[in-house]
Amino acid sequence: MKLALIDHFAHTGDSVLHRLPTGSKLIASGLLLVAVLSIDHILPSLLLYAGLLVLARASRSPVRVLFLTSLYPTLFVLLMVLGGGLSLTSTGVLLLSRALSSTLVAVLLVATTPYPELVAVGGRWFPPLLRQSLLLCYRALFLMLSLLDDIRTALRLRGRRNLLTAMALFVVRGFDLAEEQYSVMRLRGVDGGAMAYNPRQCGSAWMGWSAVALATLVLVGTSLLDTLWYGEIG
Amino acid sequence: MSHLHLPDGIFPIWVVVISWLIAIPLLYLACHFVVRWGALRRVALLGVVTACVVLAMSVGVGIYHLNLLVLAGVLLGPALGFLTAFSASLLLALFGHGGLSLVGLNSIITGVEPVMGYFLFHAVRRRWPQFVRIAAALATVLALAISTTILVGVFFFAGFDTGIYTALERHDGERWMDDAGNQRHGHESSPVQGHGAHESMHGGGAEEPSTRHGLLSLLLITALLLWPLEAAANAFILHYMSRVRPALIVGSLNSQALESSASSGRHAELP
């Protein structure tokens, strides 16, 4: 997974999708997810996937990275095929296209919205502790990625010996970083409650409502197409 | 192994709803216990451990990757361990690793690992404090066995029915069977349509056992082959930590246990 790269797109992107208010994007993504999951036929499902790829293009993020990330569920659908749980017929193709579309919805959301904003807006109903832990996890992730790079370099220089020791060292060093981070947080007055986050400047509210309306149209449209398709073959 | 990684749309909607109805109270309960046990100080560590889990789950060997959730349980305790499982599942789902609607189910199944891992590890270690590696390996294997059993149970009871089998098989003119086992033909209306119907998976009961058993066998064989890897990794890391930073493991106990262990000098013999 290209966590750092996708996060970079979210922070540096400047497309219409990036400027949409986060709450609207969350609602629109939820509606698109419902649309993806409610389709029972291949053609509408593939059309929706194609539409999402067009949306990915409109986000001005490298479509290739988003497309490759959306292919991830293919591995697990193939595993199910190998296990006999699915056949490579229309059913398998439909499940695969559903999986690809839903993954693309999630990746598109995270590639156009900085993660802290997602947590700040989407996590309003979470307990403060959970919201805090999600933000800390995000922060720690990049500390750990940097640490992982250092350890990888050290391993390469030393001839890749003792991978498990390197892993253990990675965890211990990560704990040291966390302790330092905690001390800094305490000094700044964090007491376990929710952490404040100032969201960046987003587009106007009408843009957000337009996005939600568009997603609703997609949901209704795909449902109608699905029903029509079903009617034709039924 | 127990991490589902299954994309959205595989399980029927009732599985998704029920799993969220179970996961949400568990999350609130975990937060409550974190405060009650005075483990707030370890919330910063939770971020690091979740990051480790996410990185371990992102870097796979083929289709397998380490979970490190038992390690999370041992180091953070059961409540924070469960929160780690949820945070990791949510973060991974946002980056395309598993379905967003299945985060609740993933959290329950993977959340079993840190909770069980914590109790099993400390149960063994209290009896044989010098055998850290054995305690870690045993806790890992047992915790994975329990979570995989739950996973298999979900597969067995829920299957993959999403209602689409009926529609497609009708399209193909294939026969399908109703709940009572009566065969019907293509153009009749389905007893179940759309989501929420689990009775008609693979067109009814006739093909169901073979397909389910095939998948479950594959899952179990893979699990049995890969558990030792996870156990070895956890055993090594915990053994290393017990030598380098024993306080990290001792400190994972809740405040009462920590006090009692400190007063009895239970961990004094650690190197």
Alpha-carbon distance of B38 to B77, in angstroms, equals 11
Choose between A163 and B137: higher pLDDT.
B137
Question: Are A154 and A180 in a shared domain?
Answer: yes
Helix %, strand %, coil % of chain A (to 5): 80, 0, 20
Residue A2's Cβ-side half-sphere holds a number of Cα atoms within 13 Å equal to 16
Chain B residue with minimum CA distance to A230: B167
Beta-carbon contacts below 8 Å between A and B: 233
Specify the CATH number for the domain of residue B78: 1.10.1760.20
Q: Is the pLDDT of residue B25 over 90?
A: yes
Q: Is the pLDDT of residue A208 over 50?
A: yes
User: Looking at the domain assignment, is residue A145 inside a domain?
Assistant: yes
Is there a contact between B43 and A136 if contact means CB atoms under 8 Å apart? yes
Which of A77, A85, A178 faces B44 most closely, judged by CB atoms?
A178
Number of domains in chain A: 2
pLDDT of the residue at B203: 40
Longest dimension (CA), chain A: 67
pLDDT of the residue at A3: 77
Alpha-carbon distance of B106 to B179, in angstroms, equals 29
List CB contacts (< 8 A) between B244 and chain A: 168, 172
Residues 140-199, chain A, touching B (beta carbon < 8 A): 140-141, 143-145, 148, 164-165, 167-172, 174-175, 177-179, 181-182, 185, 192
Alpha-carbon distance of A197 to B136, in angstroms, equals 39
Shortest alpha-carbon distance between residue A85 and chain B (Å): 5
The mean of the pLDDT values for chain B is 72
Which of A82-86, A149-153, B73-77 is least confident? A82-86
Residue-number span of the structural domain to which A164 is assigned: 124-187
Q: Per residue in A10-45, pLDDT tens? A: 888 888 888 888 888 889 999 898 888 888 888 888
Question: Are A83 and A13 in a shared domain?
Answer: yes
Is there a contact between B50 and A91 if contact means CB atoms under 8 Å apart? no
User: Looking at the domain assignment, is residue B98 inside a domain?
Assistant: yes
Longest dimension (CA), chain B: 75
Q: Per residue in B149-180, pLDDT tens? A: 888 788 777 765 544 443 344 444 443 334 44
Is there a contact between A130 and B27 if contact means CB atoms under 8 Å apart? yes
Alpha-carbon distance of B92 to B114, in angstroms, equals 18
Phi, psi at B177, each rounded to 5°: -120, 145
The mean of the pLDDT values for chain A is 79
Question: Are A83 and A9 in a shared domain?
Answer: yes
What would the mean pLDDT of B23-40 be, rounded to a whole number?
Answer: 85
Burial A212-226 (b: 16+ CB within 10 A, else e): beebbebbeebbebb
Residues of chain A above pLDDT 70, percent: 85
Shortest alpha-carbon distance between residue B16 and chain A (Å): 12
User: Looking at the domain assignment, is residue B267 inside a domain?
Assistant: no
Question: Are A204 and A94 in a shared domain?
Answer: yes
Alpha-carbon distance of B215 to A85, in angstroms, equals 5
Chain A residue with minimum CA distance to B68: A171
What single DSSP character describes residue A191?
A: -
Number of domains in chain B: 1
User: Looking at the domain assignment, is residue B172 inside a domain?
Assistant: yes
Q: State the DSSP string of B144-204.
A: HHHHHHHHHHHHHHHTT--SHHHHHHHHTT--EE-TT--EE-TTSPPS--STT--TTGGGS
Which of B54, B160, B170 faces A85 most closely, judged by CB atoms?
B160
Question: Are A25 and A63 in a shared domain?
Answer: yes
User: Looking at the domain assignment, is residue A173 inside a domain?
Assistant: yes
Q: Per residue in B201-220, pLDDT tens? A: 344 444 455 556 666 676 67
Is there a contact between A178 and B45 if contact means CB atoms under 8 Å apart? yes
Alpha-carbon distance of A106 to A37, in angstroms, equals 13
Is there a contact between B8 and A37 if contact means CB atoms under 8 Å apart? yes
What would the mean pLDDT of A137-165 be, rounded to a whole number?
Answer: 79
Write down which residue in A151, A166, A187 finishes a domain.
A187
The radius of gyration computed from the CA coordinates of chain A, to the nearest angstrom, equals 21
Shortest alpha-carbon distance between residue B159 and chain A (Å): 9
Shortest alpha-carbon distance between residue B3 and chain A (Å): 12
List CB contacts (< 8 A) between A177 and chain B: 48
pLDDT of the residue at A1: 60
Residue whose token pair is 């220089």:
A157
Residue-number span of the structural domain to which B159 is assigned: 13-260
Question: Are A153 and A207 in a shared domain?
Answer: no
List CB contacts (< 8 A) between B187 and chain A: 234
pLDDT tier at A230, thresholds 50, 70, 90:
low
* Structure ipTM: 0.84
Q: Which of A195, A7, A211 is nearest to A114 (CA)?
A: A7
Is there a contact between A136 and B95 if contact means CB atoms under 8 Å apart? no
Which of A38, A94, A168 faces B241 most closely, judged by CB atoms?
A168
Question: Are A9 and A105 in a shared domain?
Answer: yes
User: Looking at the domain assignment, is residue A119 inside a domain?
Assistant: no
What would the mean pLDDT of A177-204 be, rounded to a whole number?
Answer: 68
Alpha-carbon distance of A146 to A114, in angstroms, equals 19
Is B188 buried (19+), middle (13-18) or exposed (0-12) by CB count in 10 A? exposed
User: Looking at the domain assignment, is residue B248 inside a domain?
Assistant: yes
User: Looking at the domain assignment, is residue A229 inside a domain?
Assistant: yes
List CB contacts (< 8 A) between A137 and chain B: 46-47, 50-51, 54, 87-88, 91
Q: Per residue in B44-62, pLDDT tens? A: 788 888 888 888 877 665 5
Alpha-carbon distance of B83 to B91, in angstroms, equals 12
pLDDT of the residue at B23: 93
